[in-house]
Amino acid sequence: MQLKAEWRDRLKYWTHALTQDFYTPIGAIEFMGFCTFEQLSLEKALTGNFSPMPTGTKWGDEWQYAWLKASITLPKEAEGKMIVMDLNPGGEATIFVNGKAFGTKRAEWVTVPHHYIQDNFLTENGKEGERYELVIEAYAGHYFPEGIVGGIGVGPILPGAYEDPLKGKPRAEIGMSGIGVWNEEAYQLWLDVVTLTEVTQNLSDGSLRAAKIAKGLMDFTLAVDFEQAPERRIQDYKKGREILKPLMEAKNGSTAPMFCAIGNSHLDVVWLWPYAETVRKTARTFAQQLRLLEKYPDYRYLQSQPKTYLMCKEHYPELYSEIKQAIRDGKWIAEGAMWVEPDTNMVLGESLIRQIIYGMRFFKKEFGVDCKILWLPDFDAGAFACKGRLWHVCRKNDCNCHGCDCTNGYSILVYAEILCKWHFTAIRRKGIIIQSKRTAHRRPFGYYIKGAACAVQRN
């Protein structure tokens, strides 16, 4: 059973209305700041020559940074509420709160607006008069050509085909920033509704489960009345979650495979930005994840690449100490075997071995971890195709799992059969004979999908 047209439309309106109730602004943030090309520590930056940078201020040459600061005092409306920041410094940014690395203002490719807000929560229980010192290091950016047919500009390039449209002009602008109340009940209900809606899109019309979900989604729209005071709305949101709870907790049969979802940040050590920007990205990413691990006890996060850990250790030692504690607590998973997530197409086998030797040595020395996973989430047939010898390298280094994202499903592995069996046909065609098989993981849904990437392990 699928929802009829009138119910599908009703569900769309109810789902959209939930997104409008995520965030209620309660105060503006006014910045002071200065621009620099230097890579400064937080302590050094705070000695800079700050001047007012109100909303609408244009700033930033290519490769330049702005250091911004503001003081936030929670008003009466924040009492007992979850308080978040809506920050718009003009570019991707590293955020510090009360002298500590806090998180990030993400790059502008994020397509869901509330993702810019929900991660930057100051407190889950606001107190009137509570004060926070906010500092932001924002990047104005630099020019790189975007390909005419998609992706990065490659291939034949005619003279003058790629010109920087912002050359000689400010690259960034201070936008409206503020604090507000975050409605976690609305957000969690929205997640439930969207998840179940997407599940129904992948079930057959005659499925009993599809019928139950459709009935639950209809009941949700009947139970939630948006046209009432906030406190009453929240009560309805809770009712809606109770209606959907049995559907969210439903399990497949005993023969169904187990899917596990974990967080992971693929950090290109060098790609479309300078090396120094990667250093900053480690602080943004790692601090953000530590706060999410604290907020959601069941959440787990995996981070590979000892090189990124080393960047953090050298530039943000306090943050690095918190990461080590999270690893000891079993929340943060330090894995991956290799020093970085490398290209495996052009390099020799000796280089791959060295990657693993140095990587596993770091994980063992710093975290007491014996790596069992070789983590390569960002290669495909065209760019970073895997050498057949890599599987042998895995075996010799006792890496039982090969994390990969083979986006076309064929360059290295052909994903076939309902039992998630891997066939190493592409490797054999190259004449490389490997006697031992390695357990493998790939994202079967393509590249940078909206949902979570799930790992399948078949014993």
Question: In this structure, are 264 and 225 located in the same domain?
Answer: no
Distance CA 169, CA 60 (A): 8
Q: Residue 388: its pLDDT value, please?
A: 62
Question: In this structure, are 127 and 229 located in the same domain?
Answer: no
Q: Is 349 within the bounds of a domain?
A: yes
Q: b/e per residue, 189-227, with b = 16+ CB within 10 A? A: bbebbeebbeebeebeeeeeebebbbebbbebbebbeee
Q: Minimum mean pLDDT among 233-247, 248-262, 439-453: which range? A: 439-453
Q: Is 64 within the bounds of a domain?
A: yes
Question: In this structure, are 368 and 403 located in the same domain?
Answer: yes
Residue with tokens 């960002």: 378
Q: b/e per residue, 423-437, with b = 16+ CB within 10 A? A: ebebbeeeeeebeee
Question: In this structure, are 199 and 133 located in the same domain?
Answer: no
Question: In this structure, are 100 and 125 located in the same domain?
Answer: yes
Q: Is 400 within the bounds of a domain?
A: yes
The yes-or-no verdict on residue 301 having pLDDT over 90 is yes
Question: In this structure, are 242 and 389 located in the same domain?
Answer: no
Question: In this structure, are 425 and 442 located in the same domain?
Answer: yes
DSSP letter for 26, please. E
The yes-or-no verdict on residue 443 having pLDDT over 80 is no
The yes-or-no verdict on residue 88 having pLDDT over 60 is yes
Q: How many CA atoms, within 13 angstroms, populate the side-chain half-sphere of residue 74? A: 24
Question: In this structure, are 177 and 189 located in the same domain?
Answer: no
Q: Residue 431: its pLDDT value, please?
A: 32
Q: Which of 181, 205, 232 is the last residue of a domain?
A: 181
Q: Residue 403: its pLDDT value, please?
A: 55
Tell me the average pLDDT of the chain: 83
Q: Residue 319: its pLDDT value, please?
A: 97
Q: Is 152 within the bounds of a domain?
A: no
Q: Residue 424: its pLDDT value, please?
A: 37
The domain total for the chain is: 3
Q: Residue 339: its pLDDT value, please?
A: 95
Q: Residue 272: its pLDDT value, please?
A: 84
Question: In this structure, are 392 and 446 located in the same domain?
Answer: yes
Question: In this structure, are 56 and 103 located in the same domain?
Answer: yes
Q: Residue 309: its pLDDT value, please?
A: 98
CB atoms within 10 A of CB 289: 23
Report which of residues 50 and 337 the model is more confident about. 50
Question: In this structure, are 439 and 376 located in the same domain?
Answer: yes
Q: Residue 446: its pLDDT value, please?
A: 45
pLDDT band for position 386 (cuts 50, 70, 90):
low
Q: Is 159 within the bounds of a domain?
A: no
Q: Residue 139: its pLDDT value, please?
A: 96
Whether the Cβ atoms of residue 94 and residue 137 lie closer than 8 Å to each other = yes
Question: In this structure, are 11 and 107 located in the same domain?
Answer: no
Q: Minimum mean pLDDT among 200-204, 213-217, 276-280, 374-378: which range? A: 374-378
Mean per-residue pLDDT for 161-177? 91
Q: Which of 127, 160, 181 is the last residue of a domain?
A: 181
Q: Is 345 within the bounds of a domain?
A: yes
Per residue in 391-405, pLDDT tens? 677 767 777 555 554
Q: Minimum mean pLDDT among 223-237, 244-258, 261-275, 418-432: which range? A: 418-432
- The parent domain of residue 440 ranges over 260-455
Q: Is 396 within the bounds of a domain?
A: yes
Which whole-number Å values give the CA distances from 358 to 57, 96, 339, 365, in the listed order? 46, 32, 6, 11
Q: Is 328 within the bounds of a domain?
A: yes
Counted residue by residue, the chain has a size of 459
CATH number of the domain within which 72 lies:
2.60.120.260
CATH number of the domain within which 292 lies:
3.20.110.10
Distance CA 235, CA 404 (A): 44
Distance CA 320, CA 311 (A): 9
The yes-or-no verdict on residue 254 having pLDDT over 50 is yes
The yes-or-no verdict on residue 44 having pLDDT over 60 is yes
Q: Which of 249, 269, 291 is the last residue of a domain?
A: 249
